[in-house]
Amino acid sequence: MNRRKKQSLFAAICGILLCVSCSAPTPKPYGAVPTEAQLAWQQMEINMFCHFGPNTFTGVEWGSGSESAEVFNPSNLDCCQWVEVAEQAGMKGIIITAKHHDGFCLWPSKYSTHTVAQTTWRGGKGDLLREFVEACRGRVAAGVYISPWDRNHPTYGTLQYNKVFVNTLKEVHQNYGPFFEQWFDGACGEGPNGRKQEYDWPLFNNTVAQLNPNAVIFSDVGPGCRWVGNERGYADETNWSPITIANGARSTDKAPCGMQNGAVWIPAEVDVSIRPGWFWHANEHPKSVEELMEIYFNSVGRNGLLLLNVPPDARGLIPAEDSLRLVEFRAERDRIFAHDLAQYAKVRAAHLRGKRYSAQQLLDTAYHTYWASNGDGNDTIYLDFEQSVKFDLLMLQEYIPLGQRVAHFKVEVHDLVNEDPKSCWIPWCEGTTIGYKRLLRGKLVEAEHLRIIIDSALAAPILNRIALYNTTR
């Protein structure tokens, strides 16, 4: 075969390979996947919780329901100030405790006699929930907390109460919605008659879903998102978003960390307060920036959404020290994540699904572009730098619209400072699950090469982002 024919044949083969590469089929979803509303919810990453009510004025955490409505009298309520603080903190949504366990409603409910209508605030004509929703409109998403436990309502503990509570839900969602999240506290204590209530959770969830179909419903086990299992602000190191809930159960010992190959997508929400208590108390103060960053790394950085409670004070305002702390918290996140060192790397992977899903797409910030492996669950991604970089923080993201797949991975580097002469690659860190976002911290290293070894996955790995940062800069 002459040289020209060989060149022609080689070009033809390359063309065929390129066509095959470009025409690789779109990866199919694996297992449970999020709804559009759940994905949008996860992408919010950090939201604000506002516990506000009679407890703000009585100094307790759980009101008895027997307190006089007259104690509720904020002197300078300004929900727009709450929204401004949330925006400055980089938060996308706010959830308000419209009705806590004491049964007090922040709106003039037709189904209760323990509401703002029974106070002298705004001359008994006030509607705090309305002011809150209007302040949020066009700026941040509004969410609502409505506790089914009611320590004031006379029907609590009877069959009639579930109907009362459904009417309450209808009143709120029809007159004040839509809301991005409905927060159901699972607490179930005694009412004024000394009885406990058997909640009709299917009825409650269906009522919200019918009136507000895009609302993500929170409870211990969902159905929209689930409790992380503690109020410290930490998710488990292994955190699966899928979970299996058997026979309509309201709790499971597997809920905090989810389940590998769980039947439904119910991601974890991490709720924690910026202060020791959930309601404002004059003798308490906000957590430090360092504490808040630890919470961020162990919540958002472990495939969770952080719901940070910031309670308004007796004036009806977010205190200045809390507001300042949130600004500092935002500034620290902005500082750390301002400079992605992975942008200087060339990226390659052991398995190539096709040009359409190339590893180089791991470095762009577009959410719906991703690298997809054609392997059987194991793969290796390499980052090669022309000049060494110093880093101590790695960010990984799976493309969760196609499911959560990675069960274990490890990261190795060529460390130019502390290189082990016995090995080309030295361990830097390892992890189990990734999910929407995983942040891994390790010792500060200077390296020209990094590799991520996915050694256990439920299906061919699919990642949409890799980033590296130096937190010491």
Read off the pLDDT of residues 453-468 as tens digits, 9 standing for 90 and up: 999 999 999 999 999 9
Q: Indicate whether 126 and 214 sit together in one domain.
A: yes
Q: What would the pLDDT profile of 426-459 be if each residue is shown by its tens digit?
A: 999 999 999 999 999 999 999 999 999 999 999 9
**Which residues, 6 or more positions from 215, have their beta carbon under 8 angstroms from its beta carbon?**
37, 173, 177, 178, 179, 180, 181, 182, 208, 209, 224
Identify the pLDDT of residue 25. 83
**Residue 357 sits in a domain of what CATH number?**
2.60.120.260
Structural domain contains residue 150? yes
Q: Indicate whether 122 and 77 sit together in one domain.
A: yes
Q: Indicate whether 205 and 109 sit together in one domain.
A: yes
Smallest Cα–Cα separation from 322: which of 285, 290, 292, 276? 285
Q: Indicate whether 386 and 435 sit together in one domain.
A: yes
Structural domain contains residue 2? no
Q: Indicate whether 413 and 305 sit together in one domain.
A: no
Structural domain contains residue 188? yes
Structural domain contains residue 21? no
Identify the pLDDT of residue 246. 79
Q: Indicate whether 315 and 385 sit together in one domain.
A: no
**Which residues, 6 or more positions from 165, have their beta carbon under 8 angstroms from its beta carbon?**
148, 150, 199, 204
Number of domains in the chain: 2
Q: Using 70 as the pLDDT threshold, list the residues of the chain that sit under it.
A: 1-23, 248, 415-423
Q: Indicate whether 363 and 443 sit together in one domain.
A: yes
For the full predicted model, state whether its pTM sits above 0.85.
Answer: yes
User: Whole domain around residue 217: which residue ranges?
Assistant: 36-336
User: Of 336, 361, 389, at which residue does a domain stop?
Assistant: 336
Q: What is the per-residue burial (b if ≥16 Cβ within 10 Å, else e) of 108-126?
A: bbebbebbbbbbebeeeeb
Structural domain contains residue 12? no
User: Of 336, 352, 383, at which residue does a domain stop?
Assistant: 336
**Residue 72 sits in a domain of what CATH number?**
3.20.20.80
Smallest Cα–Cα separation from 449: which of 414, 407, 423, 420? 414
Q: Indicate whether 245 and 153 sit together in one domain.
A: yes
User: Of 295, 317, 336, at which residue does a domain stop?
Assistant: 336
Structural domain contains residue 28? no
Q: Indicate whether 43 and 192 sit together in one domain.
A: yes
CB burial class (10 A; 0-12, 13-18, 19+) of residue 289? middle
Smallest Cα–Cα separation from 50: which of 322, 325, 308? 308
User: Amino acid identity of 429?
Assistant: C
Q: Indicate whether 197 and 121 sit together in one domain.
A: yes
Sign of the alpha-carbon dihedral angle for 60, 61, 64, 66: positive
Q: Residue 166, Cβ neighbours under 10 Å: how many? A: 17
Structural domain contains residue 386? yes
Q: Indicate whether 315 and 363 sit together in one domain.
A: no
Structural domain contains residue 133? yes
Q: Indicate whether 307 and 445 sit together in one domain.
A: no
Identify the pLDDT of residue 354. 84
